[in-house]
Structure 1
Amino acid sequence: MTPGRFTGRAALLAAVSLSIAAPALARTDYVADIHVVPGSGSTAETVTGVVFHDLSRDGMRQDDEPGVGGVIVSNGRDVTQTGPDGSYRLPVFDNMTVMVSEPAAWDVPVNVHGVPQFFYHHKPEGTPETLRYGGLAPTGPLPDAINFPMIRTGIDEAFSCVMMGDTQPYSNTEVGYVRDGVLDSLLDRDLSDAACMVMLGDVMGDDLSLLPRFMDVFSVLDLPQYYIHGNHDFDFDASSDAHSADSWRQIYGPNYYSFEMGEVLFVALDNVVYPCGPEDSGPGGRDACADPERTVYNGRVTDDQMAWLEATLALVPEDHLVVLMHHIPFVSFIDSNTGRHQTDNLAQIHEMLAGRPAVSFSGHTHTFEYLAAGEWYQGWEEQVGVTRLPFDHVVGGAPSGNWFFGDLSFDGTPLSFARGGTPPGYMIVEFDGSNFVVNFHAANQSPDRQMALSFNTPQFRDWFTELFAWTEARGDTSADAPPLTVNDLADVKLFTPEELAEGVYLTANVWNGTRNSRVMAQIGDGPMMEMTRTQAGNGEDVLTGAEYADPFSVPRQMTVGRYAWQSQSGDARAQGFEIWQGRQFGPAVPQSAEAWMIADSSSHLWRLEMPADLPEGANVITVTATDQHGREWRDRITFEVRSERPAPLWDNSLWEDPTN
C-alpha cells in the first residue's frame, strides 16, 4: 500500500463528519427513498449525481444539504469515488445498477421493511421476456441525476450482525415455520449491538411472490436487511443469466453490492450463474452446463462482478476486514467433489485478497461448516483449483434445516436436522476492528447449547447400515414399509461389556466446531480424555457411513412420522406433508428422510472410544469444547453399563392370568 493512498477519501469523508454531531445508531428509523431527477429522454453516455447529507431526512436534496466526498459509487462494473462536493460520474450501459457503498460513518435510508435504499436500476426496456414473477419493469430514459441521501451516524468499531443460511420457504406455511423458529428465537436475544441482518441466499424457495411478506415479517427485528441472491431466488423461466435475477432486483434490490461498517467491508456477491452454458462446463457435474437439453446453474462470479470487486477493493484500506457474502460456497466439505456447488474462479478471488484479512460466508448446502484457514479436502484442487484455505470459510447452516423435513417440535416447527447433524439455526457474528467471532445458535434452544452428545454403538451401526441401505434403494414411499424404525434401535446410552469390547464411541457434534477446537471428555471425576475429530481437514476425502454418522440426529431423520398424517377433510393436499415445489410425502407409514439428507458425515463431529473395562452401573460424562478464541462450552450425558441388556418394553409376565 503506497503512503497516503487513502488520505483523500478519508479526508473528504471527515470534512463533513467532523462538523456534525453523531446521533445514536439509526438502524431502521431513517425511512426514505433516493432522489431521482427525471431525464429528458437523451441518450447520455454518463450517469451523474450527488451523494449528500440528508439533513431533512426526506431523501430529497435541498440547497443547504452538503455533498459527501470520498464515497464509493459504481454502475456494477466501473467504480469511482465522489469528489469533495459529493458529485460522481460513471459510464452508462443498459441493464446496470447505479449504487453507493455505504461508508462506515453513515447510514443510507431504508424502506418500510428495513431494506437499505442505495441503488437505482437502469434497464430502459425492462426484462426482454415475460417472467412469471414479473421481471424488471422498464425504467425508461436515464435520469438527469441520481442523488443518494445518507445521514451521519458515526463509527462504531465493535458491532454484530445476524446472519443465516437458507430460510428457503416454498409456501406461506413455511414462511410461518421461519417466523416461529429463527425469528422467534432472535426476538429473545439482546440485539442492541447488532447493526445488520444478512440472509445468505435461498431466501425464498422458488416462489418470489412470498418475498414481500417475508421481508415484512423480519422487519420486526428493526435491523437493516441485507439479502444475498441464491439459486432458489432467480427466475427459473429466464433464458439468460443477464436477467435471471430481474424479479429479485424488482422486488428486493441489487443482486450484488457492498457496504462498510466499522473497519469492515461487506461484499455481497451473486455467484449463481443461471442458466450456465458451455463456458461453465467442467468436472463435478458442470458438464450439464454444456448439455442443450438441460437448464442448470453453476457456481461462478461473473466477469463484471470480478472487475467491480477488484476496483472496490482498491479503494478500501488493506488492513480492513473483507467479509465476502455469497450463496454457493467458495468451497464445501459436503460437496467437496462436485463442481457446480462450489465456485469456479475461487483461485482468482483468493489471489485478489492476498494479504488482506478476510472471511467468506455462504449457504446452499444446508450444513454448518466452519472451514478454518489451513483446512482442505480432497476434490477442491480438481474442482476449483485450491488446496489449503488462506482464510476462514463459513457455510452458515439453514433455518430450514433439511428443508423442513422432520416431525414437528415443541414450538410447532419441523425438527429438521440438517446434513451434518446441525439443527435449524442462525449466526450472530461479532466484529471488533478487523477481528471477528462466529456464534451459531440452534433455533428455540438456549444460546449456551452448542453441541449434541450421543453414543455410536454396535447396535446403532447395524441399525443404521440396514435402514440406510433400504433408504437408498427405496422406490415409492407410499407402498414400501421400512425394515426398521427407531423402535428397533436399542438404547444407545446403555451397553454391555461385550458391546464395549466390540467398540462403543462417545460422540460430540459440536455445531460451531473447527479444526482449531479442542474437545475433552471426563467420566465422573476421572481423567480428562481428548476426543478426535472424525474429519482432520488435511486433504482427505469425506468419510461417510455408520462409523461417521451422528447418532444424535440420525434417528430423528430416519423415522419421520409426518408421512402418516391423513385427513378426512377431502383436501388432497392435507395428507402427509409437502416440501419443495409442492412435492407430497405420504400418506404412508413412517419413513426415513431422503438418503442424501441424512447426517452420515460431518465436519464437526468428535468421538472417543469408551474404555472396555468400565464397571457396571450408571455414570455421567462431561464434555468440554474449547474454540479457537478460548471460549468453553459444556454438556453432559448419562450412560449405563449392564451385564446384559434389560428388556426394553413393558414386562407383562407377572400380569398374565395363568388360567388363560
Structure 2
Amino acid sequence: MTTSFIRWPAARIAAATLLVGSGPAFADFGYVANIDVQGKAENAETVAGVVFHDLSRDGVMQDDEPGVAGVMVTNGREVTTTGQDGTYALPVYDNMTVSVVEPAAWDVPTDENGVPQFFYHHLPDGTPEALRYGGLAPTGPLPEAINFPMIRTGATDSFDCVMMGDTQPYSNTEIGHVRDATLDTILGEDLSEAECIVMLGDVMGDDLSLLPRFMSLFSVAGLPQYYVHGNHDFDFDATTDEHSADSWRQIYGPNYYAFEIGQATFIALDNVVYPCGPEDDGPGGRDACADPTETVYNGRVTDRQMEWLAGILDNTPEDRLIVMLHHIPFVSFIDSNTGRHQTDNLAEIHEMLAGRPAISFSGHTHTFEYLDAGEWYRGWEEQVGVTRLPFPHVIGGAPSGNWYFGDLGFDGTPLSFARGGTPPGFMMVRFDGNEPTVEFRAAGQPADRQMALAFNTPGFRDWFTTIMNWTERRDDEEAESVSEMPPVTVNDLPDTRLMTPEDVAGTVWLTANVWNGGRGTEVFAQIGDGPRMPMERTQAANGEDVLAGAEWADPFSVPRQMTVGRYAWQSTEGDPRAQGFELWQGSDFGPATPQSAQSWMVADQSPHLWRMEMPADLPMGTHVIRVTAIQPDGREFTDHITFEMREERPFPYWDDTLWQDASN
C-alpha cells in the first residue's frame, strides 16, 4: 500500500493503547473532522457543494484544496458524480440525507469513535412526532454548500473486514458481555490489514441510549465503524416507516449508504419496514402487516432505496465486487418458510445485480449460514420468488448468540449457542481483488477452532425427545398446566461418548457442526489409523425443506441449551432484579428450577451439520476420531473426539457398595 498518509491499519498501532488525559480514554484515528457546511439557503431547490482533497486535514475547504472528480454523491434517491472541479448538484426534498460514496484509495474523516463522517441530514423541522429516543433534531434551512472532505490514501487490492450480526445488547450488562467475549477476541486478531468493522443490524436491543457507549467501546479496534440499521434499532414509537430510523440517524448516521474499499463497493440497505402496511401483505406472516390491530415490521427494500440502489449500480463498473449489507436476510435457511423474515423484492435485486460479482451479508436470524451460489430451500420460491442463488448469501452469526441465553462460560459470558448450533462469534472477511473469503470466529476460542464434534446416540434422541416435548408444552400459551419441573435435565443424558453394541445397533451418528460449512465444504472422519471416510451434510440445499428434530439436532450445543442453571440463581441480599436473569426488554427468567431454552431457540436444525453412521464392528476399548473439514479454497481444519466402546454401560454415579461394611 503506497501512501504518505496514515491509513487505518497503521492507525491501529496508536489505537491499541488508550490515551488517558483529563477527559475520557480515546483512540487516535489520525483523521478526525466534520464535513464542511456553509451558510443557509432559503427555499433552495438544489443542494450543491464540493468534494475536496482535505490537505489541511481539518474538514474545512481552503482555497488551495482541490476538488476530487468522479465521486458519487447522493440525496438518498438520485445519484450523481462530481465534475472535474469536485462540484455536484442534486434535487432537494424534505427528509433527505446527502452523502458521499467514499471512493477507493480515499478516506473520509471520522468522529472520535471511528464513525465515518460523510453525510448531512436535511429535515428542517425535525421529526414530526415525539420519540422516546429523541428523533432527528430540526436542521433548519438547507446550507448554501455541503462540502465533503477526504484524504488521498492510496489504492489497496487486499484487505480484511471484521463483520458480525446481532450484537443486540438490551442493557449495560449485555454490552459488557459483548466487550468481554467478542471485542476481546477481535483485539486478539491480526488486524494489520483490516479496513473496517461492519455491524449487520440489531446493533442495539431496542435501547438506543446505549449506542454511544457501544460505539466508544468498539473504537479501541481503531477501525472505521459501519453500522446497518436493524429491527431492534428503530424507533418503536414511530407511526410511519419514514421516521422510524430518525433517532438512529441522529445518534449514528444514515440508515442506508455506500462506500468503496479496494475493488469492492459496499452497499448498506435498510430493509426493515416499520410499521409495515397493507402493501406488505403476503404469505409467511406478512398478513400481520394488513391487520390494523398489529404493529409489526417486514423485510423489504423501499421504492426510494431501490431507485437509489439503481443509481449506485449505474455509476459502478461491472467488474467491481458488490457487497450487499443489510439486516434482514435476502433469504435464510432457518426462516425459509417465513416471509416477514426474508426480503420481499429479492428477485428484483438479483436482476439488478445479474452478471456482477456479488455477495450478500446479513444478520437477524442469530444463526451462521453460508448459503452458496446454486443452493436453495423449498420455502424461498413461495416467500420471495427465487430458487437457486446466483451468488453467496451469508448470515453472519451473532455475538449475542441466542440472545445471551444460557449459563456462563469460561470467560464469564453466556454460552448462548445459537439455533443452528453456532457459538457467539463474528466473521473475518478477506477481500482479494473482487474475491471474498469468509472465516468464522467463535468468541473466546482459538481462530482455528471451526467445528464442534459429538455423537447422536439413541440415548441422546430419547433424552432430547422427552425434554423437548415438555419444553414445547411449557411454551404453548394455550396448553394446560405443565409441571414447572422439567422431566429430565442434562444430568440424565447418558454419556454420548461411551457406546455399547446395543447403542450402535440402534444407530449412532458422529456429527460435525462445521460452523462455516457450506455447499463446497468436504468433511472426512478417520477412526484411529483407519481409512478416511466421508461425512454427509444433513441438508443438501437442493430444494428440500428444513429437516428438524432429534435426528437432525446438534448433540454438541443442545445439551448446553436444554438445562440452564442461571434460572435458579437467587440471593438473600441481592438486587431484586438480579434474581434469575433478565433478557429482552427486562423480561425475567426465574428464579425457578433450571429450565431449557425456549423451544424455538434450540439447535434442532442446522445447514452446516455433517454426520456419519458409526460402524457396527468397532472393537471394545478407547478410540480417537479425527475430523477434517476442507473448504473450497483449500483451507483445512481438523479436530478430534475420544470415545469408548464397552460391552455394557457402566453405573454412572458413586458406587458405595464396597464401603457399606466399613461405614457400619
Q: TM-score, normalised by structure 1?
A: 0.96
What is the identity, as a one-letter code, of the residue corresponding to 1:574?
Answer: A
Q: Which amino acid aligns with 2:551?
A: E
Summarize the alignment of residues 424-439 of structure 1 with structure 2, pairs less than 5 Å apart.
424-439=424-439
Q: 1:657 aligns with which of 651, 656, 661?
A: 661
Give the match for residue 568 of structure 2.
564
**Matches of 2:3 and 2:635, distance apart in 1:** 38
Match status 1:23 vs 2:5: yes
RMSD: 1.3
The equivalent of 1:495 in structure 2 is 499
Aligned counterparts of 1:580 and 1:191: Cα–Cα separation in 2? 33
Whether the 8 Å CA contact 2:166–2:203 is kept in 1: the answer is yes
Q: 1:438 to 1:125 in 2, by over 3 A?
A: same
Residue 435 of structure 1 aligns with an amino acid whose one-letter code is E
The residue aligned with 1:504 is 508
Aligned equivalent of 1:416: 416
Q: In 2, Cα distance between the equivalents of 1:657 and 1:480? A: 40
Q: Distance in 1 between matches of 2:435 and 2:380?
A: 27
Question: How far apart are the structure 1 equivalents of 2:50 and 2:77?
Answer: 19
For residues 37-62 of structure 1, the C-alpha deviation after alignment (integer angstroms, 9 at most, x for no partner) is: 1204x101000000000000000000
Partner of 1:49: 49
Aligned to 1:527: 531
Asked if 1:538 corresponds to 2:520, the answer is no
Q: 1:472-518: CA deviations, max 9, x gaps?
A: 10159997010000000000001101110110000000000001100
**Shift of residue 23 of structure 1?**
2.7
Q: Displacement of 1:570 after TM fit?
A: 5.4
Partner of 2:199: 199
Displacement after TM superposition at 1:321 (Å): 0.3
The aligned counterpart of 1:14 is none
Structure-to-structure mapping, 1:330-409, within 5 angstroms = 330-409=330-409
Q: Deviations over 1:327-365 (max 9, x none)?
A: 000000000000000000000000000000000000000
Alpha-carbon distance between aligned partners in 2 of 1:107 and 1:478, rounded to the nearest angstrom: 59
Matches within 5 A, 1:171-210: 171-210=171-210
Please state whether the residue corresponding to 2:198 is helix, strand or coil: strand
State the AA in 2 paired with 1:650: W
Residues 228 and 327, structure 2, Cα contact 8 Å, conserved in 1: yes
Contact preservation (8 Å) 1:415, 1:423 = yes
Aligned to 1:35: 36
Contact 1:479-1:588 at 8 Å conserved across structures = no
Query: Whole-Å Cα distance in 1 between the matches of residues 263 and 181 of structure 2?
Result: 32
CA–CA separation in structure 1 for the residues paired with 2:327 and 2:494:
40
Equivalent residue of 1:657, what SS? Answer: helix
1:577-596 → structure 2 map (5 Å cutoff) = 577-596=581-600
Structure 1 residue ranges without an equivalent (≥5): 1-16
Contact 1:74–1:99 under 8 Å retained in 2: yes
Q: Distance in 2 between matches of 1:342 and 1:99?
A: 28
Aligned-partner Cα distance in 2 for 1:553–1:29: 43
Aligned residue number for residue 327 of structure 2? 327
> In structure 1, how many angstroms separate the alpha carbons of the residues matched to 2:286 and 2:3?
54
| 1:433-448 correspondence to structure 2 within 5 Å | 433-448=433-448
- Match of residue 639 from structure 1: 643
**2:258–2:268 contact (8 Å) kept in structure 1:** yes
Residues in 2 aligned to 1:144 and 1:598: alpha-carbon distance in whole angstroms: 56
SS where residue 84 of structure 1 aligns? coil
SS at the partner of 1:304? Answer: helix
Cα deviation per residue 1:65-118 (whole Å; 9 max; x = unaligned)?
000010000000000000000000000000000000000010000001100000
Structure 2 distance, partners of 1:189, 1:226, is 19
Q: Structure 1 residue 21: deviation in Å?
A: 5.7
Distance (whole Å) between structure 2 residues aligned to residue 254 and residue 659 of structure 1: 74
| Offset, 1:180 | 0.3
Which position in structure 2 is the counterpart of 1:5?
A: none
Residue 655 of structure 1: how far off its partner (Å): 0.9
Task: Tell me, yes or no, if the aligned pair for 2:474 and 2:482 is still in contact at 8 Å.
Answer: no
Percent of aligned pairs sharing the same letter:
73
AA partner of residue 30 (structure 1): Y
| Structure 1: distance between partners of 2:309 and 2:588 | 42
| Aligned with 1:613 (options 614, 617, 621) | 617
Q: What is aligned with 1:3?
A: none
- The residue identity in structure 2 corresponding to 1:587 is P
Residue 188 of structure 1 and its aligned partner are, at CA, apart by 1.0
Aligned to 2:227: 227
Give, in angstroms, the shift of residue 572 of structure 1.
Answer: 1.8
Tell whether the 8 Å contact from 1:478 to 1:587 is kept in structure 2 after alignment. Answer: no
Please give the alpha-carbon distance, in whole angstroms, between the structure 2 residues aligned to 1:315 and 1:341: 30
Mapped to 1, the partners of 2:659 and 2:113 lie a distance apart of 64
Amino acid at match of 2:289: C
Q: Is the 8 A contact 1:557 1:592 kept in 2?
A: yes
For 1:571 and 1:605, the matched residues in 2 are separated by 42
Superposition deviation, residue 24 in structure 1: 4.2
Does residue 132 (structure 1) correspond to residue 132 (structure 2)? The answer is yes
Give aligned pairs, total.
Answer: 641
What is the deviation of 1:657? 3.0
C-alpha displacement at 1:22, in angstroms? 4.1
Conserved? CA contact 2:373–2:389, under 8 Å:
yes
CA contact (8 A) 1:478 1:586 kept: no
Q: Distance in 2 between matches of 1:382 and 1:355?
A: 24
**Structure 1 residue 645: deviation in Å?**
0.3
Residue in 2 that maps onto 1:622: 626
Q: Following the alignment from structure 2 to structure 1, what is the Cα–Cα distance between the partners of residues 635 and 581?
A: 41
Instruction: Give distance in 2, aligned partners of 1:397 and 1:383.
Output: 22
**Counterpart residue number, 2:164:** 164
Which of 574, 583, 606 lines up with 1:602 in the alignment? 606
Q: Which amino acid aligns with 1:521?
A: A
1:527 CA drift (Å): 0.7
Aligned residue type for 2:131: L
CA distance in structure 1 between the partners assigned to 2:636 and 2:603 by the alignment: 25
For residues 33 and 432 of structure 1, the distance between their equivalents in structure 2, rounded to whole angstroms, comes to: 31
Contact 2:402/2:417 (8 A) holds in 1: yes
* Alignment pair present for 1:252 and 2:252: yes
One-letter amino acid of the structure 1 residue matched with residue 381 of structure 2? E
SS at match of 1:654: helix
What TM-score does the superposition give when structure 2 sets the normalisation length?
0.95
1:558–1:592: 8 Å Cα contact kept in structure 2?
Answer: yes
Q: What residue in structure 2 maps to residue 303 of structure 1?
A: 303
1:567, distance to aligned residue in structure 2 (A) = 1.6
